[in-house]
Amino acid sequence: MIDKGPQNPSLLTGPPSAPDRPRVPRWTWVLLMLLAACIVGGVAGLLSHAAGDNIPAAILTGGGAYAGTIGVLLALAHYTQSDRDCGDRSGGAGAATRPSATSNCGRSCRSGSDRS
């Protein structure tokens, strides 16, 4: 009798993969960014006023801290989102399973081997 291998095809595919985590809606991330930036701007303005600046200068300091925080958080969100859109960028075994070679923003997703 010749052994033809396992009769159950699910044994050939390996262990089942973990289900994808539910994605958090984009508006919640934006709300969280705005809240964090308001806190940073408010604390910066209060510290500026406590250091002896007058009220208009403290408001400008808080506004600058708010704008800087929003800029950094948006850049971080863009970086993490573009990495997620490209799939696995390691160039390893998971790279072949990504759905496409371009992200949804039109940029080409490079594998880890041709990154400079």
**Quick one: pLDDT at residue 16?**
63
Q: How far out from the chain centre does Cα 52 lie?
A: 39
| C-alpha–C-alpha distance, residues 94 and 91, integer Å | 7
**Quick one: pLDDT at residue 14?**
61
- Quote the tokens at residue 88: 């696995």
- Quote the tokens at residue 110: 């490079």
| C-alpha–C-alpha distance, residues 40 and 66, integer Å | 6
DSSP the chain: ------S-GGGTS-SPPPPPPPPPPHHHHHHHHHHHHHHHHHHHHHHHHHTT--HHHHHHHHHHHHHHHHHHHHHHHHHHHHHHHT---S-SGGGGGSS-SB-TTSPBPPPGGG--
Instruction: Report pTM.
Output: 0.56
User: For residue 56, is pLDDT > 50?
Assistant: yes
Question: How much of the chain, in percent, has pLDDT values that exceed 70?
Answer: 55
Q: What are the φ/ψ torsions at residue 108 (nearest 5 degrees)?
A: -80, 135
